[in-house]
Amino acid sequence: MVKGLSQSLMESSRKRLEDEQAKANKEQHIIELWAKHPLAKVVKEPEHVHAWKLYGSIGSINWKDTSPEQALAIMEAFPPVPSGLHKGRMGTSYQPEAQVKSEEKQDFTLGDGYSLSLDRVAHYAGNVKINWYTLLGEELVRIAVELLNIHGVTPSIHGHVETWPDGKIRKISDVEIAWGVEPPFAVRQVKYGRPSDDSWNTFLVWAEERAEKVSPMLSMVMAWAEECYQRRIHSKKAYELDKARGLKPEPAQAYGRAGLRSGTQAQHDCLNTEEARGDAALAKAHWLEYIDDSDQSTWPVKPSEYQKYFDHYAWACHWLFLHGLYVDPNGPEGKPYKYGTAWL
């Protein structure tokens, strides 16, 4: 009996390892297919590649925090196969039309190829993730592109949520897509699938097929990209103007907590010159443009791509690096001191 149990465990372990290896091989296959595509040299690497069979697809390719230009490039390079909303016995799903059985066609409604979902728990709004099925080479895959959150302009999904006393979602109504500008072709009325009890992670929103040649979902991303481009032009002009005329310097940097500071006297003095405080004012007013206008090799502490507002520590390290004091050779006890590594 012990031998039989031991053999069973060994077989189970072997099967699990074989399944994991098979999945890894399939994911590598998807990665290789993507690498062969010309777009792979233009857009950033996908965050995740998953191998699983669902509605005829071999897996999915997922991007997070995707810029307008890259989202548009991906959507144009990989047009969706005909897909729509299917209401089956197991619930509502968005899937390719070719995967729907003939006897279930009456429960299928063709959409424009795209669906939207929320990528995180939210009771009334959240970031937009665009999903669709497409061909990568000759393989059917599912693509998911989460749009980068740019305040005031990135599309978001809104809805009225009713919950049970325990907080579980009871009903969602008045669902709409909204964003900072209001193009005439914005998708306002949408259909959706049933959400899970406490999350919109499985929440499906989709646009109905229309007479226009361009999908309303693609049109929305095109308009979003154009709006962001125009805003960048405006921001760039404002940055160049403020850079040329100079801004009122930031106040002198005070000591840190309990009379301590994060730099040596030389570093402190360097950060408090009028030139430095004027540069800090420019960086604070136009953070993203300031970063783009500088040599990226001069940033020992890289600004976070997710932080769109002024990062004083990153700027201070950058300024000190430019003036040869990011590491003060004459630190405490005569030893080299890197800015920000201790309270002095």
Long-range contacts, stretch 166-170, CB < 8 angstroms, 24+ apart: 167/198, 168/197, 168/198, 169/123, 169/195, 169/196, 169/197, 169/198, 169/199
Poorest-confidence range of 63-67, 157-161, 181-185?
181-185
Residue bearing the bigger pLDDT, 104 or 163: 104
> From the CB of residue 131, how many other CB atoms can be counted at a distance below 10 Å?
21
pLDDT at 74 over 90: yes
Tokens 């890197």 map to which residue? 338
Instruction: Yes or no: say if 47 and 62 are a contact pair by the CB < 8 Å rule.
Output: yes
The span from the CA of 175 to the CA of 205, in Å, is 9
Could you give phi then psi for residue 96, rounded to 5 degrees?
Answer: -60, 145
The residues spanned by each domain of the chain are: 2-226, 246-338
Q: How many Cβ atoms sit within 10 Å of the Cβ of residue 140? A: 20
Q: Residue 221's closest CA among 65, 112, 41, 73?
A: 73
202 phi and psi, to 5 degrees?
Answer: -100, 15
Backbone angles phi, psi at 107, to 5 degrees: -100, 10
pLDDT at 182 over 80: no
Mean of per-residue pLDDT scores for the chain:
77
Report the distance separating Cα 317 and Cα 340, nearest Å: 8
Rounded to whole angstroms, the Cα distance separating 154 from 272 reads: 37
Alpha-carbon span 14 to 205, nearest angstrom = 41
What percent of the chain lies above the pLDDT cut of 90? 20
Phi, psi values for residue 307, rounded to 5° = -100, 110
Q: What b/e sequence results for 280-314 when a residue is b if at least 16 CB atoms lie within 10 Å of its CB, and e otherwise?
A: bbbbbebbbbbbeeeeeeebebebeeeeeebbeeb
> Residues 234-279: pLDDT tens digits?
888 998 999 999 889 888 876 666 667 788 889 999 999 999 999 9
Selection from 82, 72, 169, 58 nearest residue 118 by Cα: 169
How does pLDDT run across 1-43, given as a tens digit for each residue?
A: 555 667 777 777 777 887 778 778 888 888 888 888 999 888 8
